[in-house]
């Protein structure tokens, strides 16, 4: 059976840090993006597929299909799960997907968000979702790139 080697919240989904640092750090060989809007946008899906190195499988799925794939990970798949928002992870957890740890990598500023920690922003709803996820014994931490330190979020909530 395969495994989840990284679960990351990043509103940019696939970008340079994911492709270089996290792929090498985790040994991931299958990126699973879980996002209903992205899964329904053929143009965005084609752009993202061009950003993935050869030999790395990419699946861009809505929440229901993402939950199905993550519930029964194929043999030898080392999966990096990417989602834009913590609510996506909460929905996956509600559908029975188990995570040991979820890292927050990139949550940028927008109207409903305030600074949460350094360059990470979160809305009150997102912070409440963090609390619910942590309440399910899932470790959550801010960890932008592998060679930098991480910060557990419990003390920030």
Q: CA-to-CA distance for 83 and 11, rounded, in angstroms?
A: 7
Q: pLDDT tens across 122-138, in order?
A: 999 999 999 999 999 99
Tens-place pLDDT, residues 51-89: 898 999 999 999 999 999 999 898 999 999 999 999 999
What are the extents of the domains in the chain?
Answer: 3-156
Q: Is 104 a residue whose pLDDT tops 90? A: yes
Q: Structure tokens of 143?
A: 């960890």
Q: CA torsion 94→96→98→104, rounded to 10°?
A: -30
What's the topology of domain 3-156?
A: Fructose Permease (3.40.35)
Contact 130, 143 (CB under 8 A): no
pTM of the model: 0.93
């Amino acid at each position: 059976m395969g495994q989840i080697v990284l679960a990351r919240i990043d509103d940019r989904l696939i970008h340079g840090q994911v492709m270089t640092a996290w792929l090498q750090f985790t040994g991931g060989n299958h990126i699973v993006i879980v996002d209903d809007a992205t899964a329904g946008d053929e143009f965005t899906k084609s752009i993202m597929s061009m950003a993935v190195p050869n030999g790395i499988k990419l699946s861009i799925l809505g929440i229901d299909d993402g939950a199905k794939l993550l519930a029964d990970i194929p043999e030898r798949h080392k999966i990096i799960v990417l989602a834009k928002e913590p609510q996506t992870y909460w929905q996956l957890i509600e559908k029975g997907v188990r995570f040991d740890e979820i890292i927050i990598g990139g949550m940028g500023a927008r109207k409903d968000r305030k600074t949460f920690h350094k360059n990470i922003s979160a809305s009150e709803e997102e912070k409440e979702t963090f609390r619910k996820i942590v309440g399910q014994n899932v470790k959550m931490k801010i960890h932008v790139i592998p060679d930098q330190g991480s910060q557990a979020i419990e003390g920030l909530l």
